[in-house]
Amino acid sequence: MKTGPLGALLAFLYGEERAESLLSRLYGILGSARSGGGKEVLDPAEGLIGCGDALLISYGDMLGAEAGNESGESGLGRLFRFLEKRNRGAFTWLHILPFHPYSSDDGFSVIDYRKVDPRFGSWEDLEKLKTLNLNLAFDFVINHGSVQSEWFREFLEEKENRRNWYIRRPASYDYSSVVRPRTHPLLTPFAGGRGKEPVYVWTTFSADQADYDFSNPEVLLEFVRILLEYTKRGAGIVRLDAIAYLWKEDGSPCLHHAKTHGVVKLFRAVVDHLRLPLLLLTETNVPHGENISYFGSPLGDPALDSLPEAHMVYNFALPPLTLYAALSGDAGPLRNWAKTLPAGPVLENAGSPPRYFLNFLASHDGVGLTPARGLVDDQAFNAVIEEAKRRGALVSYKSSPRGDIPYELNCSYAAVIAPQNMGDSALRARAFLAVHGVLFSLAGLPAVYFHSWTGSEAWTEGPSVLGYNRAINREKPVLDRVEQELKDPRSFRFHVYRGFAELLGFRQEERAFDPLVPQYVFDSPEEGGKSIFALIRGPSKEGRWVLCIENLGGAKALWKAPGERPDLPEPFRRQGIVPLEWKEIVLEPWECLWLVFSEGALFSRLSTIPGLP
């Protein structure tokens, strides 16, 4: 019988003998989803994200209430009230970090995937956010779940329906070949049911987070159901959290397993089968080449190799390389890496659905260091890490065959890029906006963490209060305090918020910023421009181009345009790159300069330094 992509992927994951019955059950799940209503996408080849799109990352309870004045308003209610007043169209997407009942890790230790944590609000509160013309992104935490969940309790009690839902191994299990993202032991003992010996369970990320066993197809089918419920609840992007660790096989690294890619391809096949208006985003904080493999990895079968995988991947190398450029004054590694990104649309072939990069600098997690390894000289990179520590950053470690090594800087991105001793709030904001000029100029969907958008400083007491380093960038400030500081022209928040509005507003007006419009990153400039990052985007459908130049240093810098370059890719060769009068441009310290032109005529410009002509 002809099984199509779904049947072929089930056979790859679970074998031919089981595939037919599993496919029948999967079709039953998909049929129920279709009969329950739901919107289909338009032409899949059409871009689902445009130049006007930007994504805001936020917790559901991002803003706290004044002590003694809670008034019963939910966290999502306060977020709605803030966004209704402050967003003003700057962001078109809202990524709500995990909002389910949870037991640890600020939501990433999920207890029940079908409920909203009362601390955040309700499904109705989430639905209300869409009335602000916001598309929603949900987290899909599928590698692991809370050990305090009913699922896990039933597993320990050896209930038939949960017996093989989590991964158990003997206490003596040799996991030396397993790639570890943390330093704690891989296996955690739990008291067995009915007085039995302790059960040792695979816990990749913490003792409170037990890994699901996807070699059991019942686990996969249940998460397909949850994925489809997310779409009915309004998710337009689903972020596959920690997906690289999903499939375990003894004797293997248990990272980027072929069957992990097979599961992602199956989720994509479900989306395509139902023609859902949904983008799958993979979260894989690993070296760049491994990261982009989730656009589509070969599985050893030509029919499966050609199947698409994620619609979108994070550009994980961007945060550490941009931080390196700002702290060292050397944008060379950032330029060299950015030049390896696709110059044109990220398409598998003509007529296929587009694939996007999610570009970001800060998030609820720290700044991953692993993606930058090999892209920066180790000695120079370590010097920047030490400088970041002097500016208040903390370092988290992971286990490796060489011992514990640093894998993440935990910090407020703003506090490290623009420390308080840099100068007044306006100058500090200018430095912070300059690095975001890089973020907003690159092809893809730009994503901004709530604390970056509102100019939050490091929550220095957070790690001691909550007991983990990432708390330094996870404060839940009181809404009224944030509002007061945003109104104060002397505050860092005021200048950052205003600068974001200008950058995002300018970007929304120019079709050359569309994620599928080609880009070209300029080579390293001559002496005097070491801190410069420059690229050109275009042409838009209207024939316009945008030249984006950022000075990521505290001194003036000279940018020189290259001459005629027959080696440049089309269509840049035809344009002659930039108008003659822009062949040399002096940028002020921390200046972000964008110039929009067509055939030598200047249409508009933006500079983050007020008053410049």
Structure tokens belonging to residue 183? 């330093």
Nearest-5° Cα angle at 594, 592 to 511 = 135
3-state secondary structure of 188: strand
| Cα(548)–Cα(533) distance, integer angstroms | 8
CB 396 within 8 A of CB 183: no
Q: Strand 519-521 and strand 532-537: pairing?
A: antiparallel
154 exposure class (CB count in 10 Å sphere: 0-12, 13-18, 19+): middle
3-state secondary structure of 134: coil
Alpha helices in 393-520 (DSSP H): 413-417, 425-441, 450-453, 462-466, 479-487, 492-509
The whole-angstrom distance between residue 59's C-alpha and the CA centroid of its chain comes to 14
Nearest to 308 by CA among 364, 348, 276, 256: 348
Which positions ≥6 away from 334 have C-beta within 8 Å? 321, 322, 324, 325, 438, 533, 552
Instruction: Kindly state the DSSP code that residue 140 receives in the 8-state scheme.
Output: E
The whole-angstrom distance between residue 235's C-alpha and the CA centroid of its chain comes to 16
Distances (CA, A) of 75 to 105, 118, 230, 582: 18, 9, 20, 49
Distances (CA, A) of 588 to 504, 593, 594: 21, 10, 13
CB 11 within 8 A of CB 4: no
Provide the edge-to-edge strand list for the sheet that holds 601-607. 519-521, 532-537, 545-551, 592-598, 601-607
Nearest to 439 by CA among 541, 325, 595, 351: 325
Residues recognised as catalytic: 241
3-state secondary structure of 202: strand
| Cα(439)–Cα(361) distance, integer angstroms | 7
Alpha-carbon Rg for the chain, nearest whole angstrom, is 24
| Cα(549)–Cα(258) distance, integer angstroms | 40
| Cα(468)–Cα(421) distance, integer angstroms | 26
Nearest to 263 by CA among 202, 214, 222, 314: 214
Q: Largest Cα–Cα distance of the chain, in whole Å?
A: 82
